[in-house]
Amino acid sequence: MASLDFEREESRFRAFYAAQRPALEEACAAFTATIADVVAAARSVDVSKVEGRVKDVDECVRKFTRKYRPGLEESNTPYEIQHWITDLVGVRVVCLYEDELEKVAQIVRSHFAVIDVTDKASAVESTEASFGYKGLHLDLRPGRRDLPALAAHAEQPFELQVRTIIQDSWSVLDHKIKYKKSIPGQLKRRINVLSALFELADREFRQIRDETAAELLQAPDETVEAGAEMEDTSASSKPSALGSELNAFTFLKIATHFFKDFEFDPAKVDSFVDDVQAWSPGITRARFNTLMRETVGTVKRYKQYFEEQNPEGSFNPYTVIRHCLYLSNRTVFRPALRNVARESFEAWLADNV
């Protein structure tokens, strides 16, 4: 029965916690796995990690003492501590970009009953006594029958935190700042400035993502123009950060024209373009496009021959491009092919070209 005796209620809560700990751990594992599954199935957000935890008993007592005990005792309202700790079980989803927080929230709303939502990302704490921002918090409970793995935990509420990597990093560091209320004004100001820099980094990462995507969409499609080797310098041409050089963006624009069904991995593209620039410093996107148009037909014929002779061999688009580069200038692009591949290609060229 609820009371105003804190020592009694703390003892009862600790006994309750000890008895419930195994069930809380099971619920935490089930919630974490389910959240990870439903977010992954949506395929609309880039998630860094999904993790769960059962709140430490001492932390629960400190939270109650700090947030709820003064008001309850002031109003002479009896209490049981466990009724005031809604985040005994917590799950955290860490996204890459800040505009994905609400996307995750929408996904989980379709699978769980929402008890409460706190948007701590839009209300940045900037007073002298508190620092930082903490993302989006949702108090949830299993709400749908299509999640049988959660049937045993249907009455267990839990807290879902949705943060970006930057917000998560700030939160970790923020917890390490001791004696926040006693920090001198100048130190508080410096910490607030640092908090603002973290928030700015979040926005910059999102804008870089958006502008990168925009560059790929805006890159001129040189492959459809016979005079592609001439750069468009007319006043009506749309300015682009791409420039005239061959870089990852212009490479992808050209390469995906020749290999429409191939998915180019960004990391491999970066590495490959570095190699091409090392072999031919200053190569432009127009020059790369031209040499591809001039040689790809011959190389595709060789590819067909190679695959007939080597059923287990690999001749992917990168291999095609390497052969195209070599065929365009056998001196400059000699490093594009290894000795065995170069000798085989030369032997075929001698008989077929």
Model confidence pLDDT, tens digit, residues 245-282: 888 888 988 999 999 989 898 889 989 999 999 999 99
> Quick one: pLDDT at residue 288?
95
What is d(CA 265, CA 277) in angstroms, rounded to the nearest whole number? 18
Model confidence pLDDT, tens digit, residues 37-72: 999 988 888 899 999 999 999 999 999 999 999 999
> Quick one: pLDDT at residue 228?
38
Mean pLDDT taken over the chain: 84
What order do you get walking across the sheet with 112-119 strand by strand?
Answer: 47-54, 89-95, 158-164, 136-142, 112-119
Residue 225 has pLDDT above 60, yes or no: no
> Quick one: pLDDT at residue 318?
96
Residue 110 DSSP label = T
Residue 3 DSSP label = B
Strand partners, 95: 47, 164
144: which 2 tokens? 């749908």
288: which 2 tokens? 């790369």
> Quick one: pLDDT at residue 236?
35
Residue 89 has pLDDT above 90, yes or no: yes
Residue 304 DSSP label = H
Give one DSSP letter per residue of 135-151, joined into a string: -EEEEEEE--TT-GGGG
186: which 2 tokens? 């100048």
Give Cβ neighbours of residue 202 (< 8 Å, ≥ 6 apart): 97, 98, 164, 166, 167
Average pLDDT over residues 182-202: 81
Q: Above pLDDT 90, what percent of the chain?
A: 49
